[in-house]
Structure 1
């Protein structure tokens, strides 16, 4: 069975990420973001959402591990900022339903959601510039960068929360990430 760890960045929905992965048949474990990277034995990593960049523990070190990584909300922002992109405050800060346009229908993480999907997202902070090797794979009227991918390095991120019921195709995001983790 595929094993994926969810890194707890102190977000309010982190336990739902673990549950969503278990619901699609994954051996999922929740770990603290101060867990030493050498102790992580997994086929994939989810960097959870959370309140701010000041409490990200060892997430930078996890990005160096040779397994696929999915960043959710703050997790995507950590990935962007730590790999050379930038994050800025968003114009719309609260949680809301958002219609997201899939910009890359071939993307292994979000391409199957094309042409649009309805998601639940917070836009207090947003990815402003992408790190080298990444492409934008989804956007909205609220946020220019709703999802990113670096397929070569198996690094993916979504601004929204696929683990909550308000996100229409959230389970598909986790199924697609599982397929990425299981691909040779």
Structure 2
């Protein structure tokens, strides 16, 4: 059984991430607060949830050093980028909307299967404007240059959109692909 922890950054959709993973065969999932000490994290992979505030991410920065695959969603993506030397700024577009996302890297293990494009539900209040070293832009859109990124060497991935909500057409596939990465 693949054990995945969903780290709660107090986003409004975190419970949906937990539920979607819980309903998958072969996945043992637990929802944990972002203040959980890194030494108490025992998992095959981590999902860093979205959330309202980069200043309220608890121990998430330390979780990136645990040598397990990580999938950052919205704020989780931004946190990975910020911590590892990328740059996050306010987005031009702002609030939630349906967005057509173009997959830029069909070999990416998390979003590559969605190529050539997919429709997602995303907030662009903040967004990654410069990738950290070692990362590849794996998706973009007309309103955001980095809709997804990945570093397959370190098994660190992130999406700007919310794959856990019904408005995202192939959201479950993102989680299935991430579970496959964690199971390897």
TM-score band w.r.t. shorter chain: over 0.9
Alpha-carbon distance between aligned partners in 2 of 1:28 and 1:165, rounded to the nearest angstrom:
20
1:60 maps to: 61
1:149, distance to aligned residue in structure 2 (A): 0.3
Matched residue, 2:84: 83
Task: Report 1:20-59 matches (<5 A).
Answer: 20-25=20-25, 26-59=27-60
Question: Structure 2: how far apart are the matches of 1:29 and 1:93?
Answer: 31
Return the alpha-carbon distance in structure 1 between the equivalents of residues 174 and 77 of structure 2: 14
Residue 174 of structure 1: aligned partner: 175
TM-score by length of 1: 0.98
Question: 2:74 — aligned with what?
Answer: 73
Unaligned runs of 5+ in 1: none
Find the aligned partners of 1:23 and 1:146 in 2 and give their Cα distance: 26
* Length-normalised TM-score, structure 2: 0.98
Any idea what SS the aligned residue of 1:28 has?
strand
SS of match in other structure, 1:35: coil
Deviations 1:83-120 (A, max 9, x none): 11110000011100000000001110000000000000
| Larger fraction in strand | 2
**What SS is found at the alignment partner of 1:106?**
coil
Q: CA deviation at 1:45?
A: 0.2
CA RMSD of aligned residues (A): 0.5
Paired positions, count:
183
In 1, Cα distance between equivalents of 2:33 and 2:128: 24
Q: Distance in 2 between matches of 1:23 and 1:6?
A: 14
Superposition pairs of residues 123-142 of structure 1, within 5 angstroms: 123-142=124-143
Query: Partner of 1:92 in structure 2?
Result: 93
Q: Separation in 2 of the partners of 1:30 and 1:67? A: 16
Match of 2:16 in 1: 16
Moved segments of 4+, more than 3 Å: none
CA distance in 1 between counterparts of 2:45 and 2:152 reads: 14
